[in-house]
Chains A and B, each alone.
Chain A
Amino acid sequence: MLETRSKISTALYWAFVWGCGLAMLAFMIGPILLALLMSFNSGTTLRFPPEGFSLRWYEMLFDPIASEPIHTAAKNSIEVALSTVAVVTLITAPAAWALARAPKRFAGSVEPVLLAPLVLPSLVYALAALLALSLLGLGPSFLAVLIGHAAVFAPLMFRTVLGLAQRMNPALEEASATLGASRARTFLRISLPGILPGILAGAFLVFMQSLDNVSVTLFLGDPGRTMLPLRLFAMLEESLDGRVAAVSGVLILAAALLLVTLQRFGGRDAR
């Protein structure tokens, strides 16, 4: 009796675990697969199931004349994303490194403030930033988008770097100093390699988030300079353009490649 009950509860437990796990996987991977499949559709519009296999949408996407607006939008987006990564790295990496060495009480009170943008809806931030800009008499611009992205996404890198910086043995830097190294040499040869995996992981997150952000870009962006996510929206509105799926395909491939490279590169344990 008791045995059957425990058997049933074990079975239920595993059914729950597997059920939830598979559902998660389905929700995560299903749409991505769907988009990929649709990008190879030979039909004239976005649809599922695809009518046949072809690379026509990719050909069209890479055609410099037909897809010129997409290329410009992508270039703008990548520009913003790369600049955001650069700005965020220069600000958060030293900040996280310094905070890991600050007195505990100080660090404990500053950390939540620096992480706050993570929980703040970016839409709210974008609207507030737009209002603040107009109060200053400034309009939407590339710089405004850059600052907006940097402010909203900085915590992503801050988090990944702080984790490593806090786990780093402070004796490593002390050892470097006792061996006659200057502060700069200690930072470059000892501290930086220690937090580099965090910087790379953070850069990846910030880059991807910046690339597909809509709200901040929409509010703060110069309407004359379209960005990729906005462009894709517009294309879907105008017609069910298969190139949208092709763009997704390219983005998925790029993300996967980046991720693999990162794991290879940042995988070595730097304690």
Chain B
Amino acid sequence: MADTGLQISNVDHSYEDKQVLHNVNFDVPDGKVVALLGPSGCGKSTILRAIAGLITPDRGRISLQGRDLTKVQVRNRKLGMVFQNFALFSHMTVAENVAYGLAHLPRQERRERVSRLLELVRLTAFANRFPPSLSGGQQQRVAVARALATDPSALLMDEPFGALDRALRSELQAELVRMQDDVGITTVMVTHDQEEAQAVAGQLVVMNEGRVEQVGSPEEIYDHPASLFVNGFIGHANQQHATVTGAGRLRTADGSEIAMNRTLNYLPGAEVIVTSRPEDLSLSLTEQPGAIAARFDRAVVMGRFLTIDAKLPDGTAIKAQVLRDGGPRPGKGDAIWLIPDTSRLHVFPGNNQIN
């Protein structure tokens, strides 16, 4: 292993007998942004706190540029952290907040650093204000400036946009990307919002129930999900139970036959779950070979697209997203056929079964 970047190796952790991290492994290359993504309670904040040194994991190793951090105290780790609700010191001004980590510097140098950072986050005019008088977005930028002030080796951010309203988020995400380009600091961000993760990070670490499910670029994860969980968590995934009938052939629970254009790693007879993305289904009002029969529920116009909600014969919901063409729209309860792009279907092991 190279001695660069941030490396998390085999980290386990428990809170009061409940294991919250299971053998967590991932690397953050120098200067890159990685987002830890997962539903709440998946352990993503715990791993961030372990990197920061706010908790000591039961097992495993966390190292930065080859330096083992596991035994280093929080205050000596030289990491910048942006907390979920920013944790600004409300009895200090913005400038004092940013200067807090610079107590060891001579006064003149400290003042210069503070003003450079306030410039970076475009808050120079607010230097002498107290944080409670700032807007959420401004507070977030103060938190970022304060974390960067100590010139940390890495930046950790816990839901940095979570406390902001939606409209503001994309603006600040773009701002963060710009700043990250300027500063080029290794960054780990925790979020439960996949769009946010994809907007800011080049690499995603998808977590569930204390385990890393998949590590990869947003594209890799979207196109080649490693598990059913990842498939459903990043974007929407329609699920159908099916049985493998031969090389590359499946029969779904409602009897449709699907012929895949590739061989599957399953023995005939294996129970599987086959998933499709809404945009990989096309709509037909007449029966087609290899199409999934469904009943139309409703359609929502989303710009150029039409999002169709339908039900399979067994009552399972299925979603399709098709281009709006001027064609006739089915009515509620009408029979429709959804034709999957078989090259983009994913197959996962069925319940309680491996292979």
Contact = CB atoms under 8 A, between A and B. Distances in A.
Nearest to A174: B54
Nearest to B132: A269
Contacts of A189: 89, 100
A194 B149 CA distance: 23
B100 A176 contact: yes
Given A171-B84, A269-B132, A178 B75 contact: yes
A67 interface: no
Interface string B103-124: 1100000000000000000000
Contacts of A175: 81, 83, 87, 89, 146
B75 A177 contact: yes
Interface in A166-209: 169, 171-172, 174-182, 185, 189-190, 193-194
A225 interface: no
Contacts of A179: 75, 100-101, 146-147, 149-150
A55 interface: no
20 contacts: A171-B83, A171-B85, A171-B87, A172-B87, A172-B89, A174-B81, A174-B83, A175-B146, A178-B80, A178-B147, A179-B101, A179-B147, A180-B76, A180-B101, A181-B100, A181-B101, A194-B91, A268-B91, A269-B132, A271-B132
Contact of B75 (A172, A180, A190, A193): A180
A270 interface: yes
Contacts of B90: 269-271
Contacts of B132: 269, 271
A178 B91 contact: no
Contact of B77 (A171, A174, A178, A268): A178
A168 B253 CA distance: 55
* Residue of B77, B81, B89, B132 most packed against chain A (CB within 10 A): B89
B291 to A, nearest CB: 53
Interface in A204-244: none
Interface residues of A, number: 21
B6 interface: no
B75 A182 contact: yes
A268 B89 CA distance: 13
Interface of A: 169, 171-172, 174-182, 185, 189-190, 193-194, 268-271
B150 A180 contact: yes
B226 interface: no
Contacts of A268: 91
Contacts of A269: 90, 132
Contacts of B74: 174, 177-178
Contact of A193 (B54, B91, B104, B149): B91
B85 A181 contact: no
* Residue of B76, B77, B103 most packed against chain A (CB within 10 A): B103
Nearest to A169: B87
B242 interface: no
A185 B100 CA distance: 11
B292 interface: no
A183 to B, nearest CB: 9
Given A190-B89, A193-B91, A269-B90, A181 B83 contact: no
Nearest to B16: A103
List of 4 A-B pairs having minimum Cβ-Cβ separation, nearest first = A179-B101, A171-B87, A175-B87, A177-B74
A180 B147 CA distance: 11
B258 interface: no
A162 to B, nearest CB: 20
Nearest to A179: B101
A175 B75 CA distance: 10
Contacts of B104: 180
B85 A169 contact: yes
Interface string B43-59: 00000000011100000
A66 to B, nearest CB: 48
Contacts of A171: 83-85, 87
A181 B146 CA distance: 13
B274 interface: no
B79 A178 contact: yes
A65 B146 CA distance: 62
Nearest to A270: B91
B100 A178 contact: no
Contacts of A270: 90-91
Given A174-B74, A178-B80, A193-B91, 13 more contacts: A174-B83, A175-B146, A176-B89, A178-B52, A178-B147, A179-B75, A179-B150, A180-B101, A180-B104, A181-B75, A190-B89, A269-B132, A270-B90
Nearest to A194: B91
Contacts of B91: 193-194, 268, 270
